Structure 1
Amino acid sequence: MGHSLTLALAASGVVHVPSRPVETLIAFSIAVSAVHAIRPLVARGEVLIAAGFGLVHGLAFASLIGDLGLDRGSLVTTLLGFNLGIELTQLLVVALMMPSLLVLAHTPHYPAFRLGVAVVGLVFSVSWMLERATLTSGDPFEGTQTWLVGHPLLVAGTVATLAVAARLRCRVPWTAAGK
């Protein structure tokens, strides 16, 4: 929802933020999400963090659409189509990952998995943030990040395999279940 608001405002010219600060803010929003996953920043703050995340990401989406140089009529159609595409992509990611994460969440291995993913996300986002803020000359993790984004089914399959392995490892034997 947040990305829809800032996407519409920025794409229609009401709000304009240069791309470098927006990219730095995106990396910062990912870092905040990662830190919150490690140790909550605000009690029940997931909705607040997700809203901020969406607002910032909408600005980035708007710069992509802005680069197309569309007229007003095309802009509305493109905004609707782009927003629908973003929502469908998010639903696809949830459909791919949620079953595995739910299985993992019911194992004693989930806290370590969650911490590991959060730490990797934090390291990636801080590296990206430093590079986008021009404090470093490059992002040493860019190749790894590009590979992960380019292989979503392999990533989802790996998480699914980990979930099944974690579930099988902690399964209570049938004979002990009745005691």
Structure 2
Amino acid sequence: MVRSLHFLAVLLTVCAVLFGGAARADDSTPGYLEFTEVSEGRYSVLWRSPKLSTPLPALVLQLPEAAQNLTEPVTTELPRSIVERRLIEVDPAQFLGSRIEIAGLRETNTDVLVRIAFANGAATTNLLQPSQPWMIVKGPRSAAQVTWDYTVLGFEHILGGFDHLLFVLALLLIVGPSRRLLWAITSFTLAHSLTLAAATLGLVWVPGPPVEATIALSILFLAGELLKVEQNKPSLTATYPWLVAFTFGLLHGLGFAGALADVGLPEHEIPLALLMFNVGVELGQLTFVLSVLAFMFLLKKFFREMPNWAVQMPAYFIGSTASFWLIERVSGF
């Protein structure tokens, strides 16, 4: 592969993807708001707000005007979110057609999934986004609407998951645009789909902080592998890309499951929601890979080879970023 491709593809793609979003890899964690009708007109409210970077304003739940607190909000702080619980009362006739809003959502790059479960077993879901941080309460939504909401969640999660994208980018640069890349990406997809499903369904459980730290370590490993390739040294990933992709894919699937757990799944639509979240992740991953390959194709037409020091910069850049994440996440244990 032409050396300049490695340098310029990484420079353009990583700068746009990583620093265009944030230096942190967790500001796109979605929020979750749930209303559960415990008796007529009375709702248990769960509001899980993601922790955001300091410059961003806190997300504030704004309930319908007709709603009254029966209990004061009780707040619990978790590693990646703040959970608020309360009991409210609102006239059923006034609840339907009322407005729910998340103040401060416009200034973020995250979404909030809203689920309303009625006493008769019916439920409705809505996806609030920075472009529209409010909703009008309506009756139950169709399976097609659940499909759309969770596909969008998966798509936006992977494109906002800068650590996962950096792993895929490093893998792509090691293997290059070839049939071996197809096998590697397929192995990565299969692996993280397995652990995503297993963790979401409660078959396996691993604490979130160690998983996030190990994901950073996996990127650091690939940075070392990329450096070996650039120096024409033997590389495990270059020799067995599918094996490395599958092994670390199992780990990354646990990371996806952590994000999905923050949102939750609709009780009566778990298989569908899980499937479509995974489909959204794959669509986002495919979009990213095709974008990088398009950059590489275009750059091949305009740039010649780069000096050795420039060729090795991508590996050092990826390794430095992964090292920062690793230290940050380990210190947060």
Q: Distance in 1 between matches of 2:219 and 2:282?
A: 19
Given the two structures, how large is their TM-score scaled by the length of structure 2? 0.37
State the alpha-carbon separation in 1 of the partners of residues 215 and 262 from structure 2: 19
Distance 1:108 1:134, change over 3 A: same
In structure 2, relative to structure 1, the CA distance for the partners of 1:113 and 1:3 (3 Å cut) is farther
Task: Tell whether 2:248 aligns with 1:59.
Answer: no
**Which residue of structure 2 lines up, in the alignment, with residue 39 of structure 1?**
228
**Offset of 1:135 from its aligned partner?**
7.6
Question: Secondary structure, in 3 states, of the residue corresponding to 1:67?
Answer: helix
Q: 1:68 to 1:115 in 2, by over 3 A?
A: same
1:121 to 308, 318, 327: 318
SS at match of 2:305: coil
- The alpha-carbon distance between structure 1 residues 114 and 84, as it changes in their structure 2 partners (threshold 3 A), is farther
Partner of 2:59: none
Higher relative contact order (CA 8 A, sep 6+): 1
CA contact (8 A) 1:33 1:49 kept: no
Task: Tell whether the 8 Å contact from 2:265 to 2:274 is kept in structure 1 after alignment.
Answer: no
**1:113–1:9: structure 2 CA closer, same or farther, 3 Å change rule?**
farther
Q: Secondary structure at the match of 1:133?
A: helix
The CA distance in 1 between the partners of 2:265 and 2:332, in whole Å, is 34
Structure 1: stretches of 5+ with no match in the other structure: 137-179
Higher alpha-carbon deviation: 100-109 or 15-24: 100-109
Provide the aligned length of Structure 1 versus Structure 2: 136
Q: 1:121 offset after TM fit, Å?
A: 0.9
Q: Alpha carbons of 1:10 and 1:114: their partners in 2 closer, same or farther (altered >3 Å)? A: farther
Distance in 1, matches of 2:307 and 2:249, equals 26
Alignment of 1:127-146 (within 5 A): 127-134=324-331
Q: Secondary structure at the match of 2:323?
A: helix
**Matched residues in 1 for 2:208 and 2:322: separation?**
16
Deviation at 1:36, TM superposition (A): 1.0
Shift of 1:115: 2.4
Q: CA deviation at 1:73?
A: 3.8
CA contact (8 A) 1:3 1:59 kept: yes
In the alignment, what sits opposite 1:49? Answer: 244
**Structure 2 counterpart of 1:57, which letter?**
H
**Change in 2 beyond 3 A, CA 1:47/1:127:** same
Relative to the length of structure 1, the TM-score reads 0.66
1:79 to 257, 274, 294: 274
Q: Which segment is superposed worse, 58-67 or 112-121? A: 112-121
Structure 2 equivalent of residue 8 of structure 1: 197
- Per-residue CA deviation, residues 88-137 of structure 1 (Å, 9 max, x unaligned), is 1111112211022245568423976652222111111111111111189x
Bigger Rg, structure 1 or 2: 2
1:129 alignment partner AA: L
Counterparts in 2 of 1:47 and 1:109: CA distance versus 1, 3 Å: farther
- Is 1:108–2:305 an aligned residue pair? yes
Amino acid of the residue matched to residue 134 of structure 1? S
CA distance in 1, matches of 2:287, 2:203: 31
Deviates more, 1:11-20 or 1:68-77: 68-77
Structure 1 contact 34–118 (Cα < 8 Å) conserved: yes
Task: Please give the per-residue CA displacement for 1:1-29, whole angstroms capped at 9, x wherever unaligned.
Answer: 11101101111101101110010011011
- 2-side partners of 1:49 and 1:61: how far apart? 18
Task: Give the Cα–Cα distance (whole angstroms) in 1 for the partners of residues 195 and 217 of structure 2.
Answer: 17
The one-letter code sitting in structure 1 at the alignment partner of 2:286 is: L
- Residues 70 and 90 (structure 1), Cα distance of their counterparts in 2 relative to 1, 3 Å cut: closer
Structure with greater helix share of residues: 1
- One-letter code aligned to 2:263: L
Pick which of 40-49 and 118-127 moved more. 40-49
